[in-house]
């Protein structure tokens, strides 16, 4: 019989959706022009010349907008505001609870996740047409910006990396089998929170399928309806290598091979705890055992200049295991490979791939793992994301809003109620006003994904990948 006893954690802070906000928003409901009864706002990455891959909105909607706002949340938010001396719209939030059953009556439209869109265009919008709650379209800016900019930035950066990897692959390899596994997510410990690992790790799954960030894989599986979105391999770490001491490294390597060296397995072995070249030579001397095991053994250097270390290891591996020349004239080393997991960002990865292929080796000989640079070395300004209110309805008339600061023309906002249109023949995208007639050959590229408590147009990770990879 189990001795497990459930215990409620008294220290856990419960969610309070009305407080997921910058507090200056609290008093705005009183400040718009009289008779304002509807509001429209849009999200845009304002850089020029980038390709943006939207991702993460469905995850946010399922996690937060389908979380029912309760009377207890409203009570807590009111007490919080009173304690700080902030205004609070009690009547408004009571209406959300009583008339909308605790779900915010906003409508969110977006480009389908995974669609590749030129930066400088609208990618999502939020609208509220309840006369008492119109201000919600702006109120949700804080949570909605977080929901969009971070995972979209990860996916967009990954698109750039995926294109570069695929370019080297098509130059030097015979199949694209390894491309989805060439950039592995080691970023779980490098992000600022568990939720960051979930969101960023899930975004990485759009273009790649290698991940050690379990929270991200789990989130992608759950929120995007896939049985398993990412995979990994058995791998050692320095605590294991160093447990054998500097003079017992053969015992270390033998123990790993004996335990996990099975037919079809892939085993990554870290080698730089003491002398990466000595340990690599030791591993090469175990060629017969490695070949007999049927496993692929991946050498992992984790320090030093990769443009020096990797070429040295490739030459050692070729001398020991031999290489097969593929039909494109590039060498593929037999039985073993290399993973570079230290200091990997886009520029480093490209330089290493250039070096490897210049040496006559296929890009299939190396994969990458990225930690801090993958999920954390980004911010909202990476693609200059912003949400701006661009139209309010006063009485029966929609009034356009825009900002145009003389001190920063780059912050000029669009105006009016907008959508994104797409020409499927030319693949051109344009941001236009929703009431303008569609130009010949164009169609609306945005869909409604949330409306007054309802999730609409649900998508799967497979569908997102198909859009992103086309």
The average pLDDT across 84-105 equals: 98
426 near 49, Cβ under 8 Å? no
Tell me how far apart the alpha carbons of residues 435 and 112 are, in angstroms, rounded to a whole number: 21
Residues 344-401: pLDDT tens digits? 999 999 999 999 999 999 999 999 999 989 999 999 999 999 999 999 999 999 999 9
272 phi, psi to nearest 5 deg: -100, 15
Grouping H, G, I as helix, E, B as strand and the rest as coil, residue 356 is helix
pLDDT at residue 403, rounded to an integer: 86
pLDDT at residue 410, rounded to an integer: 79
Tell whether the model's pLDDT for residue 177 goes beyond 80: yes
The average pLDDT across 5-23 equals: 96
Tell whether the model's pLDDT for residue 456 goes beyond 80: yes
**With bands split at pLDDT 50, 70 and 90, how would you rate the model's confidence at 136?**
very high
Residues 287-332: pLDDT tens digits? 999 999 999 999 999 999 999 999 999 999 999 999 999 999 999 9
Tell whether the model's pLDDT for residue 1 goes beyond 80: no
% of the chain beyond a pLDDT of 90: 97
- Expressed in percent and rounded to 5, the helix, strand and coil fractions of the chain are 40, 20, 40
pLDDT at residue 413, rounded to an integer: 84
Range of weakest confidence among 99-103, 156-160, 410-414: 410-414
Residues 233-244: pLDDT tens digits? 999 999 999 999
Grouping H, G, I as helix, E, B as strand and the rest as coil, residue 241 is helix
pLDDT at residue 461, rounded to an integer: 98
Class of domain 168-375: alpha beta
| Residue 77 backbone class (left: φ over 0; alpha: ψ -120 to 50; beta: rest) | alpha
Closest by Cα among 315, 319, 303, 305 to 271: 303
Question: Which residue shows structure tokens 């399922």?
Answer: 62
pLDDT at residue 412, rounded to an integer: 82
127 near 105, Cβ under 8 Å? no
Structure tokens at 241: 């290598």
Closest by Cα among 434, 463, 388, 367 to 113: 463
Closest by Cα among 149, 142, 140, 55 to 103: 140
Structure tokens at 97: 């609870």
% of the chain beyond a pLDDT of 70: 100
The average pLDDT across 456-467 equals: 98
**With bands split at pLDDT 50, 70 and 90, how would you rate the model's confidence at 9?**
very high
H/E stretch holding 297 reads strand 296-300
The average pLDDT across 143-163 equals: 98
Closest by Cα among 157, 174, 159, 167 to 354: 167
> 380 exposed, middle or buried (CB, 10 Å; 0-12, 13-18, 19+)?
middle
- Per-domain residue ranges for the chain? 17-151+383-469, 168-375
pLDDT at residue 288, rounded to an integer: 98
Tell me how far apart the alpha carbons of residues 423 and 426 are, in angstroms, rounded to a whole number: 6
pLDDT at residue 372, rounded to an integer: 84
Tell whether the model's pLDDT for residue 209 goes beyond 90: yes
140 near 128, Cβ under 8 Å? no
The average pLDDT across 129-152 equals: 98
Tell me how far apart the alpha carbons of residues 353 and 358 are, in angstroms, rounded to a whole number: 8
Residues 391-428: pLDDT tens digits? 999 999 999 998 889 998 878 889 999 999 999 999 99
**CATH, range 17-151+383-469:** 3.20.140.10
> For the residues of 139-176, what is the DSSP string, one character each?
HTHHHHHHHHHHHHHHHHHHHHHHHHHHHHHHHH-S-S
**Would strands 266-270 and 296-300 be described as parallel, antiparallel, or unpaired?**
parallel
pLDDT at residue 409, rounded to an integer: 86
223 near 234, Cβ under 8 Å? no
- Per the prediction, the chain carries an average pLDDT of 97
Tell me how far apart the alpha carbons of residues 269 and 257 are, in angstroms, rounded to a whole number: 9
Tell me how far apart the alpha carbons of residues 294 and 397 are, in angstroms, rounded to a whole number: 72
Tell me how far apart the alpha carbons of residues 229 and 180 are, in angstroms, rounded to a whole number: 11
Half-sphere exposure of 319 (CA within 13 A, CB side): 11
């Amino acid at each position: 019989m189990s001795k497990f006893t459930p215990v409620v954690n008294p220290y856990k802070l419960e969610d309070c959706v009305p407080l997921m906000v910058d507090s200056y928003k609290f008093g705005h409901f009183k400040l718009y022009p009289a008779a304002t009864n509807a509001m429209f706002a849009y999200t845009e990455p304002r850089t020029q010349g980038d390709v943006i891959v939207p991702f993460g909105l469905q995850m946010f909607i399922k996690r937060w907008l389908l979380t029912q706002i309760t009377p207890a949340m409203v009570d807590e938010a009111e007490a919080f505001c009173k304690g700080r001396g902030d205004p609070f719209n009690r009547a408004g939030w009571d209406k959300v609870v009583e008339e909308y059953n605790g779900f915010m009556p906003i409508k969110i439209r977006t480009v389908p996740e995974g669609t590749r869109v030129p930066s400088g265009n609208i990618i999502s919008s939020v609208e509220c047409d309840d006369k008492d709650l119109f201000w919600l379209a702006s109120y949700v800016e804080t949570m909605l910006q977080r929901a969009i900019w971070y995972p979209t930035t990860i996916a967009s950066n990954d698109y750039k990396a995926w294109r570069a990897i695929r370019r080297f692959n098509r130059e030097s390899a015979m199949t694209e089998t390894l491309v989805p596994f060439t950039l592995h997510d080691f970023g779980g410990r490098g992000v600022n929170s568990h939720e960051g690992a979930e969101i960023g790790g899930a975004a990485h799954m759009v273009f790649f399928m290698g991940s050690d960030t379990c929270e991200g894989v789990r989130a992608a599986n759950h929120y995007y309806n896939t049985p398993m979105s990412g995979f990994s391999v058995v791998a050692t770490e320095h605590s294991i290598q160093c447990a054998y001491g500097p003079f017992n490294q053969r015992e270390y390597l033998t123990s790993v091979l004996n335990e996990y060296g099975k037919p079809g397995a892939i085993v990554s072995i870290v080698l730089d705890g003491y002398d990466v070249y000595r340990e690599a030579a030791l591993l090469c001397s175990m060629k017969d055992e490695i070949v007999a095991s049927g496993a692929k053994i991946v050498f992992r250097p984790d320090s030093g200049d990769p443009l020096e270390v990797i070429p040295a290891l490739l030459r050692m591996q070729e001398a020991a295991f031999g290489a097969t020349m593929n039909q494109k004239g590039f060498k593929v080393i037999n039985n073993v490979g290399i993973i570079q997991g230290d200091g990997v960002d886009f520029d480093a990865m490209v330089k290493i791939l250039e070096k490897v292929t210049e040496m006559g080796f296929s890009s299939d000989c190396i994969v990458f793992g990225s930690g801090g640079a993958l999920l954390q070395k980004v911010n909202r300004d990476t693609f200059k994301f912003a949400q701006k209110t661009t139209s309010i309805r006063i009485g029966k008339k929609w009034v356009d809003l825009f900002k145009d600061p003389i001190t920063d023309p780059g912050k000029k906002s669009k105006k009016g109620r907008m959508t994104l249109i797409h020409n499927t023949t030319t693949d051109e995208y344009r941001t236009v006003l929703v009431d303008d007639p569609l130009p010949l050959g164009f169609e609306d590229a945005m869909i409604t994904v949330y409306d007054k408590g309802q999730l609409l147009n649900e998508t799967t990770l497979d569908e997102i990948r198909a859009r992103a990879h086309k």
